[in-house]
Each structure stands twice: as C-alpha cells, then as structure tokens.
A and B are shown apart, each in its own frame.
Chain A
Amino acid sequence: MNVNMTPFRRLPTLPVWVINSALTAILVGLWPLGRALEQNLNPYYLQILILVGINIMLAVSLNLVNGITGQFSLGHAGFMAVGAYTAGVLLRHYQPEGGAIVPAMLGVLILGGLLAAAAGLIVGIPTLRLQGDYLAIATLGFGEIINVVIINTESVGPFYVGGSAGLHGIPIYANFFWTFGAALFCVVCVWRLAYSNKGKAFAAIREDEIAAGAMGVNTTYYKVAAFVIGAFFAGVAGGVSATWFGNLDPESFRFMRSIEIVAMVVLGGSGSITGAIVAAILLTWLPEQLRAVQEWRLVIYALVLILMMIFRPAGLLGNRELWPVPGRRKPAPPATSDPDSRQRMMAEG
C-alpha cells in the first residue's frame, strides 16, 4: 500500500458566512447590472437573456427530480403553469403600482411557487409509487389534466383566468433582476441540497431504491420532497415568465414544453447542475440563431434527444460538475485491472 497517498482530503472551501455574504452581494449586484443591461442592450438580446434565466430555473429544478433523484417526470410544464397563472391572475387583478410592486412581485412569485408545490404534492404522493416509464406517463397525464383544468376555467371567484382564450394584460414587472435573482436562488438551493449529507439520499434513491430503503432512507418522503421542491421552482419560473411576457397561453404549458425541459436536463447530463445550466443556455440561444427557420427549433430538440441517447447518453457532463465538488470524482477505470489508476486519479484530482 502506498503510504504517500492522500486518500481523502477536504476540498478547500471558504467559510459559509463568506459564501453566503458573497451570494447576497451578487443578488444585490443584479439590480444595477440589470438596469445597465436594460438600458444598453438590444431588447432582442435582453429577451433571450430572460428566457435563458427562466429555462435555467426550469432545467435545474427538473434536474433535481429527473437527474439527481432519478424519478423521470414529464409533467414539469404543468407545475410551471400553476405558478404562471397564480402570478398572472393576481397581478392582473390587483394591478399593484409604485412602491407596492416589489412586495407584490415577491408575494406572487412565492405564492405561485407554493401552489405549484402543493400541486406537486398532490401529484407526487400517488404517482411516485410507480417506476420508470410508468411514472413518466402518469406525470405526463397529470400535466395534461392541469392543462385541461386551466382551459376550462374562465374565472375563480372574482379572479379572471381566461380559459382557452388565455390570460392577457398581465402587468409586466419582471426584469433582469427578478429573473436572475430567482434563478440564482433556485440554483443555490438545488446545489446545496444535492451536495450535502442530507441530499445524498436523493442520489441513493436514483442508484438503488431498495438498498436506500434498507439503509434507513424514507424513500417515499425523499421522492415526494424532490418532486415538491422541483415543482416549487417550476412555479416560480412560471410566475416570472407570466409577468415578463404579459400574457399566458394555456397551450404553451403542455407536454411539449415539458419535453423541452427534459431535453435540457438530458443534454446537460442527468444529475449535473452546471450541465443543466449550460444546456439551458445552449438550447435557448441556439434556436434563436435559427429564428429565420423557426420551425427547426423543435426539430433540433428532437434530434438532440435521439442523438444524445445514441452517442452520449450521459449528456455533456455526465453526472459531474464543471468544477470539483466534495465527495465526487471522475469515474476511474476499475482499479483491479490497472494498479496505477488510483495514483493517477489522485494526481489528476
């Protein structure tokens, strides 16, 4: 045995208070940055940027469910719709102005997220008993049911919902700050859940659900938790998009939208959070470059899915991140066949 090997070494990490303050500083910094971008950037590019932010939220939150916990869900757009309609309906009804905008935005985004999370809880408890492709179809079914309910709802009490005609005239308050503030919050939450002792349970369920149960992991609880947290952020993303575009079309939250988000997770690499971000950027930006031939957009998504599955099913990054994370390393070739592999891996480490 090689005595010089350093088998386990904590990656140098900054104290938590430093990281938390830095994140807060970035969040505050988004405000002036957003103002500067909104004044100087071509509105077309700003639009793409906002879409990137929304898609990052959707892809990273779905990644918690599909990639990290390994529960293949095809209903993410349904939860997005719940958040979008909550925010859209409330803002359109109350039309907050002036100093009320910021608290109102914060309120409707969180409320939208919570209602989406509640929908996630209702959907998750029965369906998460199912596995693999059955779960995929059941969540797809629930997504469509949410859609059918929206299409058939003209109004709820005093609130106008719009039914199949869609909801128009939502005040446009979302901007760079709200979008990327929410995206930052989402990414930090999912990251910290995934890479902590508590969050290891999510990945354990993906790797082997029976073994996870035998090791004391309450698998139902964690699966539902992943689903509810994922739905919450999908709801927030929906809320942001409602008040960025100003109108909502129920058709845009159907199964196709869910597939787009799945494509992002798959392209980035199931389980990789930075991968989901990279893929969200690529799959938002790339089709915009082909705007002249808009109908190619979904063809590209389709080809991405098929070709990735054939040639690189692990996605761009596999389940790795762009930078090293404590407790994770590149998979090495089996140590038995190559006695030097461990040393080499340590050297690369």
Chain B
Amino acid sequence: MDQLIQQLINGLSVGATYALIALGYTMVYGILRLINFAHGEVYMVGAVSSYYLAEWSMGWTHSLWVSLPIVVVGSMVTCAILGFLIEFLAYRPLRDRPRLVVLISAIGVSLLLQNLAQFQAIFGPTPKRFPELIQSTPVLYNAAHTIVLTNLDILSLGLSLGLMVIMTWVVLGTKTGLALRAVSFRFDISMLMGINTGKIISFTFMFGSALAAVAGTIDAIRYDVRPLMGLMPGLKAFVAAVLGGIGSIPGAVVGGLLMGLSETLVKGYLPSAYTGYADAVAFVVLIVILLVRPTGLFGRVAPEKV
C-alpha cells in the first residue's frame, strides 16, 4: 500500500512536467493543426538556460529565494523568445503550405537545436549535473519513511499547478484568451472578425514555450542536463496531448498526469527484466489511442468532407 502511494506521488510529479510540455503541443495544434516537433527541444533549451542561470546567479548569491526565481523566470523568458523566433523564422513563411511541409520544417528545427546544443561552445555533448541549487530532501514523510514527498516533488507539483491556474485564467478570463479560443475554433473566420491572428499565434508559441521551460528547469534540477534530453519527454508529452485529445487544454493536463502515472507504475511493478521496456509504453499507448479513439479523451471529431 505504501509503495503504491509512493508510486502515485512519483507518477504525479513526473506527470506534472509532461502536462506542462503537453500544454504547449496542444495549444499550438489547436490553432495551427501543427505538431510542433521542436517543442521537446524548447524544453531542452529551458533546461540548458536554467543551468547557466543557476551557475551565474549562484556566483553572487547564496539565497535560494533569489536564485530560484531568477532561474525559473529567466529560462521562461529565454524560451518564450526562442518560441517566438522558431515560429517567426521556420513556420510563418509556410503558413499556407500543406501540413507535411510544416512538419518537416519542424523536424528540421528540432534537429538544429539538438545539434547546436552539442557544440562545445554552447553546451557540449556530455550530460552535466545541475549546480547544487536545491538538494532533494524529504519534506513530508510517514514514520517508516516508506512514503516520502520531497521538496522537488512539491516544487514540480506546485509550479505546474500554479502555472495551469494562470493559464486557465488567461485562456478563459482575458481578451487575448478569447481571441485565442476564437482562432483555434475557426482560423479563417476569426481573421475576418478583426483578430490579429499573427499576434495570437506568436503569443501561443511564447506561452507554450515558457511552460516547457519550467518543465525543463524542474527536470534539470531533478535529473541532469543533456542536449538530447528533449527527445523522449517531448514525445511522451505529445502522446499525453493525443491521449487527452489534442487541442484540448484540460485534456493535456489529464493526459500528462496519466502518462506520468502509467510510466512509474510500469517501472515500479513490472519484473526488473522488463523495466527496459518502460520507454516503449508511451508508444504502445499512442498507437492504441490512435487506433481506438483518435480524438482522445476530450477531443472533437472532424470527419473529412467529400
């Protein structure tokens, strides 16, 4: 029982970062019907930039309460700018082209970022440990230490939850959010209604990228920083978005949490000889959903008109 609760905590903690990345996928897909393949790399850049920001800020301050906000906000800003640039340079010129053309361009951006990060002058190919900003320490635990909630779990869950609340407010409660929903409902009509779609698209990319940056920061602190770290979480978060119903914001959150839970449960309960297959779980889930219920849990159906 204790083990199960612990697995659930770990699962939610991992799932929260998937949910943050999945939100970016789902928002962009909702508006442009584009799988932003480079989104996993934005997450990686979030991790890399928080690595450098932590190194820099710890050079002149020892206070966690000074450096942590610098790291988190700084990497969010970096990634928001990156998200804007990716959209502006690689996707905007392709606005009226077939979707596959844009997808290939997105794959190109992803490959480009991965390999630029591998340059020694930028980051280098080898994994690096995050500067000792926060040590993983148990905060809440039961007497036998069989159930432990660490400060990192709290940071992960707290940041994700807070950002999701902010995001819900932005989407449902602001004028920009209204425009965003209109654009995702009918792109061409909203343009006629006087919405500056270019601006909304840029905003979506910046917002989604900032969320991915937070996920990158959390995972950088939790694990380490690698130029190729974006690939798997990126793909898993994409699966999460599809699971929830791509284009649906609550779907991305639920999908992300489910992905995190299923992954930790598979790792925790499968015989050790099979844990190597845990990475395949995401893809099996993806293929099953696509075949059984391609619209996901919360998605809408859009049949092709003949």
Question: Chain A residues in contact with chain B, CB under 8 A?
Answer: 72, 126-127, 129-130, 132-134, 136-138, 140-142, 144-145, 148-149, 151-152, 210, 255-256, 259, 262, 266, 295, 298-299, 301-306, 308-310, 313
- Measured between beta carbons, the chain B residues less than 8 angstroms from A134 are 290, 294
- Measured between beta carbons, the chain B residues less than 8 angstroms from A299 are 111-112, 115-116
A47 to B93, CA, bound (A): 39
- Measured between beta carbons, the chain A residues less than 8 angstroms from B240 are none
Smallest CB–CB gap between A219 and chain B, Å?
Answer: 14
Instruction: Scan B96-115; emit 1 where CB is below 8 A from any A CB, else 0.
Output: 01011111110111111011
Extra 18 A-B pairs, beta carbons < 8 Å, given A132-B99, A309-B94: A134-B290, A138-B290, A141-B287, A145-B284, A152-B276, A266-B104, A299-B112, A299-B116, A301-B108, A301-B111, A302-B110, A302-B111, A304-B108, A305-B107, A306-B112, A309-B102, A310-B94, A310-B105
A152 to B270, CA, bound (A): 14
Q: List 9 A-B contacts (CB under 8 A).
A: A133-B99, A134-B290, A136-B100, A138-B286, A141-B286, A152-B276, A299-B115, A304-B108, A310-B105
- Measured between beta carbons, the chain B residues less than 8 angstroms from A313 are 94, 97, 101
B150 at the interface (CB under 8 A from A): no
Given contacts A137-B286, A138-B287, A138-B290, contact A72 B100 (CB under 8 A): yes
- Measured between beta carbons, the chain A residues less than 8 angstroms from B90 are 306, 310
- Give the most central of A126, A130, A262, A299: most B CB within 10 Å: A299
A151 to B290, CA, bound (A): 26
- Measured between beta carbons, the chain A residues less than 8 angstroms from B132 are none
Given contacts A301-B111, A306-B90, A310-B94, contact A140 B306 (CB under 8 A): no
Interface size classification for chain B: 35 or more
A137 touches B238 (CB 8 A): yes
B188 at the interface (CB under 8 A from A): no
Q: Which residue of A lies closest to B228 (CB)?
A: A256
User: What are the 8 tightest A-B residue pairs by CB atom distance, in nearest-first order?
Assistant: A305-B108, A141-B283, A302-B112, A302-B111, A306-B108, A152-B276, A309-B105, A148-B280
B277 touches A148 (CB 8 A): yes
- Give the most central of B109, B238, B242, B279: most A CB within 10 Å: B279
B291 at the interface (CB under 8 A from A): yes
A148 touches B94 (CB 8 A): no
- Give the most central of B119, B283, B304: most A CB within 10 Å: B283
- Measured between beta carbons, the chain A residues less than 8 angstroms from B105 are 305-306, 309-310
Q: Which of B108, B277, B287 contacts A302 (CB 8 A)?
A: B108
- Measured between beta carbons, the chain A residues less than 8 angstroms from B290 are 127, 130, 134, 138
Given contacts A142-B283, A148-B276, contact A133 B114 (CB under 8 A): no
B235 at the interface (CB under 8 A from A): yes
Q: Which of A136, A152, A310 contacts B93 (CB 8 A)?
A: A310
B100 touches A133 (CB 8 A): yes
B279 touches A148 (CB 8 A): yes
A126 touches B104 (CB 8 A): no
A302 to B119, CA, bound (A): 15
A259 touches B107 (CB 8 A): yes
A20 to B157, CA, bound (A): 67
- Measured between beta carbons, the chain A residues less than 8 angstroms from B111 are 256, 259, 298-299, 301-302, 305
A126 touches B102 (CB 8 A): no
A304 to B279, CA, bound (A): 30
Q: Which of B35, B107, B112, B294 contacts A262 (CB 8 A)?
A: B107
Given contacts A138-B286, A295-B119, A309-B102, contact A130 B108 (CB under 8 A): no
- Give the most central of A140, A148, A151, A306: most B CB within 10 Å: A306
Q: Which residue of A lies closest to B108 (CB)?
A: A305
A195 to B238, CA, bound (A): 38
- Measured between beta carbons, the chain B residues less than 8 angstroms from A310 are 90, 93-94, 105
A304 to B111, CA, bound (A): 11
Smallest CB–CB gap between A18 and chain B, Å?
Answer: 40
A130 touches B112 (CB 8 A): no
Q: Which residue of B lies closest to A144 (CB)?
A: B283
A28 to B125, CA, bound (A): 45
Q: Which residue of B lies closest to A293 (CB)?
A: B119
- Measured between beta carbons, the chain B residues less than 8 angstroms from A302 are 108-112, 115
- Measured between beta carbons, the chain B residues less than 8 angstroms from A129 are 291
